Amino acid sequence: MNSQADSVEGAQSFEENPTSSGRRLTQLDRLSVTELTGIGPARAKALGAMSIVSVLDLLMHYPRRYADRSHPTLINDAVVGEESMIEAKVTSIRSRPARNRRSIVDVEIADESGVLTVTFFNQPYRKDQLHEQDDVVVFGKVELFRSKLQMTNPIVDLVGDQTGAIIPIYPQSAKAGVSSRDLTRYVTEALSRAKVFADPLPEIVRKQLKLVNRSAAFLHIHRPESMNEVFPARRRLAFDELWRMQLVLVLRKRAQAREARGIAHRTVANDPSTDLVGAFTSRLSFALTGAQRRALDEITADLASELPMHRLLQGDVGSGKTIVALITLLYGVQGGHQGALMVPTEVLAGQHFGVAKRLLAGIMVPDSRCLTGEREVRIELLTSQTSTTRRSELHQGLRDGTVDVVVGTHALLTDEVRFHSLGIVVIDEQHRFGVDQRAILREKGSGTGNDRRDPDLLVMTATPIPRTAAMTVYGDLDYSELDELPPGRTPIRTRWVSEPSDEQRVWSRVREEVTKGAQVFVVCPRVRAQDDLDESDQSGLIYLDDRGDEQPKLFGLDETATPTRPARSAIEEAERLATTELVGLRVGLLHGQMPSNEKESVMVSFRDGFLDVLVATTVIEVGVDVPRATVMIIEDADRFGIAQLHQLRGRVGRGAGESVCYLLGYDVSEEAGKRLAAVAGTTNGFELAEIDLELRGEGTVLGARQKGRNDLRLASLRRDRELVLLARSVASQMIDADPTLANSHAILNELLLFIGEDEALYLERS
């Protein structure tokens, strides 16, 4: 940065000159709110409690909504049954107690034409918020009650002496004593003193994308003269948020490509003895689906290149990701390297290991150390349960290269795990691992110093997330999709059982199916009755959260629900079913608090058909593959999220027989009802992912990926898909033209404002 720019960037007051092109966000961030009239230390502290410290914070504190006074309705002109905006004066306020210790506040308002009673149920604070003679704008449905006009629980805005047709309504804080009107005043002053904003987007790009400039955007989001100005302002500011995000992602992606040296894997075998992939696929009992072949083509192109692969593979439950993962690992092995498959749970590790071991049996790799010049592919399992002696054997094998593929849990991340030549890493259920954990495994690559090679990386998600969301959250990865299920699958019929009286029929059906040779899963939200929490570590609900240890929001008790009874527990339910509804059937129990060896033996008994019914917690959610299991019963299904229900349901329907899934959910909240209806309505994971995003919003999708200042305030991954794509393409073009943004200091500095420290360090390095 040159010294002139330095001094300008360092401006500490409005009066120091901004850059000739206008104020930059970085400058506004250095201006304290105390620069504004009427903000002394006490006010500054109050604002600070709302995370508003700088003028930029203030300007990015956007209105929550607007009171539009441009088309007010007179009270007597209001149409009964329709929503209206009415501007009037408060004439009286009365509060009265109601049944169940609830409260009712009646507020009478009047304009020149008539009188309207506004009734607030359960909002006792309205009594103190409103005063006689206050000017208010109310918005709500007008009703006729005992031949008088009334509104119930309308939106109320105190407009006071504010002028203008559109009044911005800011998120305010009663606790800090900062009202929307205070904020209006501060913002107005900040805008008029800041005047012109520098615009990092070239005019030609703005024109092309039909985006207004930054000055207009900030002015119109805060001070629109008509509602027509709000939308373009919001669109521009939302674009900026997404554009900054994409710039960071694209920068990171390009930096990885620049810095990393990988292995050019041998994807085409020149002689049959090294054609492990050919040997493997020819022995499969099925042909790969078109989608699997397409994904593998994309993967092999990456593998063959010197640049290490960074690819995300998305596919619905049962779309056959595991086979793709194994083939990917074999490409590494056939060139003399090793592969690692990391999964989040022991159950899943055991499962993948079992499948892989079976499929790889008899496949030979050349090895000059053997008498015959070749040996069988060696695949091993490493988890925290692996015994000490076994583990040191494995560590040895990994170091000397005699172990070709290792399947494991977090145990793979320990220091003792070193590889002879780690060529390919696959991470299943990517969301359960942190970015750092991904990095640790990658650093175990091969060679040292100048010979260091990064392994190729393939990450997979358990259930798909919408594409635009993936582009945002995993925007530094390339993308492949399995959009096709293997043939011959009979779709799982799903029924939401919403009446307790129908439950009996479900259990009779279970008995019937078992007689016909089927096996049954029964999933409960809790391990035991007295547990508050579910097996949070087993949850797949916040499926993009990097913080594996944190209690996901919707897991366990659905916050929106008002459960009339505690969730059923696996332990009690197993006992109840075995002695009542399912008496005579062989009922097993599986949950995360059981010792590993017990878990393992229960899984094996179930898989081998020694149990008819397995009552479990979500520990069976991921990957468990038992083809004879064709009935899935999810109890208290309203307590689970969409992704999780879909994952759980995916445990059946894996064989040729028709499978059914019953979602038991009685007396559920509206939100939960939507989830259950969605899951009952489709078995397409990509469709469900869209609905899930719609219902839950993006906060959960972004999760901990969003470090630093929260920069998705206006943009929505649901509504702004078009902007995500535009932002991606603009960001890519900018970085094509200026790969490290070395010639775009203003932009780089702006990015640094919005990203976390780790990320910032990373960018500064590049």
Positions touching Mg ion (CB under 5 A) are 321-322, 623
- State the nearest-atom distance from the C-beta of 730 to Mg ion, in Å: 35
Instruction: Report the residue number, 167 or 299, with the smaller CB distance to ligand ADP.
Output: 299
Residues 306-325 contacting ligand ADP, CB under 6 A? 315, 317-323
Q: Give CA 621 to chain center in angstroms.
A: 18
Instruction: Report the residue number, 324 or 382, with the smaller CB distance to ligand ADP.
Output: 324
Torsion of CA 52, 163, 87, 125, to 10 degrees: 30
- State the nearest-atom distance from the C-beta of 317 to Mg ion, in Å: 8
Q: Taking CB within 5 to 8 Å according to partner kind, which of Mg ion, ligand ADP, none is near residue 409?
A: none
Give the CB-side neighbour count of residue 743, counting CA atoms within 13 A.
6
Q: Which residues of 513-542 are buried (b: 16+ CB within 10 A; e: fewer)?
A: bbeeebbbbbbbbbbeeebeebbbebbbbb
Instruction: Report the residue number, 357 or 395, with the smaller CB distance to Mg ion.
Output: 357
Instruction: Report the residue number, 289 or 386, with the smaller CB distance to ligand ADP.
Output: 289
Instruction: Report the residue number, 170 or 543, with the smaller CB distance to ligand ADP.
Output: 543
492 binds ligand ADP (CB under 6 A): no
Residues 427-486 contacting ligand ADP, CB under 6 A? 486
The whole-angstrom separation of Cα 733 and Cα 479 is: 19
Give, as one character, the DSSP assignment of residue 150.
E
Applying CB under 6 A, among 625, 658, 667, 671 the residue interacting with ligand ADP is: 625
Torsion of CA 241, 245, 251, 254, to 10 degrees: -130
Q: Taking CB within 5 to 8 Å according to partner kind, which of ligand ADP, Mg ion, none is near residue 431?
A: none
Q: Tokens 């009270």: give the residue.
A: 75
Of 321, 315, 317, 330, nearest to 281 (Cα)? 330
Q: Taking CB within 5 to 8 Å according to partner kind, which of Mg ion, ligand ADP, none is near residue 664?
A: none
Instruction: Report the residue number, 625 or 694, with the smaller CB distance to ligand ADP.
Output: 625
The whole-angstrom separation of Cα 480 and Cα 477 is: 10
The whole-angstrom separation of Cα 139 and Cα 733 is: 45
Instruction: Report the residue number, 423 or 623, with the smaller CB distance to Mg ion.
Output: 623
- State the nearest-atom distance from the C-beta of 234 to ligand ADP, in Å: 39
- State the nearest-atom distance from the C-beta of 650 to Mg ion, in Å: 9
Q: Taking CB within 5 to 8 Å according to partner kind, which of ligand ADP, Mg ion, none is near residue 292?
A: ligand ADP
The whole-angstrom separation of Cα 258 and Cα 254 is: 6
> Which token pair is 253?
């992606």
At 196, which amino acid appears?
V
- State the nearest-atom distance from the C-beta of 288 to ligand ADP, in Å: 5
- State the nearest-atom distance from the C-beta of 485 to ligand ADP, in Å: 8
Instruction: Report the residue number, 317 or 425, with the smaller CB distance to ligand ADP.
Output: 317
Residues 254-293 contacting ligand ADP, CB under 6 A? 286, 288-289, 292
Q: Taking CB within 5 to 8 Å according to partner kind, which of Mg ion, ligand ADP, none is near residue 315?
A: ligand ADP
The Cβ of residue 43 has, within 10 Å, a number of other Cβ atoms equal to 18
How many residues lie near ligand ADP (CB under 6 A)?
Answer: 15
- State the nearest-atom distance from the C-beta of 237 to ligand ADP, in Å: 39
Q: Taking CB within 5 to 8 Å according to partner kind, which of Mg ion, ligand ADP, none is near residue 486?
A: ligand ADP
The whole-angstrom separation of Cα 476 and Cα 457 is: 12
Helix, strand, or coil here: 660? strand
Q: Taking CB within 5 to 8 Å according to partner kind, which of ligand ADP, Mg ion, none is near residue 231?
A: none
Q: Tokens 């596919």: give the residue.
A: 315
Distance spanning both ends of the chain, measured CA to CA: 15
SS (H, E, C) 686-740: HHHHHHHHHHHCCHHHHHHHCCCCCCCCCCCCCCCHHHHHHHHHHHHHHHHHCCC
Residues 673-692 contacting ligand ADP, CB under 6 A? none
At 551, which amino acid appears?
Q
Instruction: Report the residue number, 26 or 319, with the smaller CB distance to ligand ADP.
Output: 319
The whole-angstrom separation of Cα 152 and Cα 649 is: 42
Q: Which residue is nearest to ligand ADP (CB)?
A: 320
Instruction: Report the residue number, 290 or 517, with the smaller CB distance to ligand ADP.
Output: 290
Instruction: Report the residue number, 322 or 468, with the smaller CB distance to Mg ion.
Output: 322
Q: Taking CB within 5 to 8 Å according to partner kind, which of Mg ion, ligand ADP, none is near residue 345?
A: none
> Which token pair is 550?
């944190």
Q: Taking CB within 5 to 8 Å according to partner kind, which of ligand ADP, Mg ion, none is near residue 317?
A: ligand ADP
Give, as one character, the DSSP assignment of residue 663.
E
Q: Taking CB within 5 to 8 Å according to partner kind, which of Mg ion, ligand ADP, none is near residue 319?
A: ligand ADP
Q: Are 308 and 455 in contact (CB under 8 A)?
A: yes
> Which token pair is 490?
């009979």
Instruction: Report the residue number, 243 or 606, with the smaller CB distance to ligand ADP.
Output: 606
Applying CB under 6 A, among 236, 591, 654, 728 the residue interacting with ligand ADP is: 654
> Which token pair is 421?
């030549």
Give, as one character, the DSSP assignment of residue 526.
B
Binding site for ligand ADP (CB under 6 A): 286, 288-289, 292, 315, 317-323, 486, 625, 654
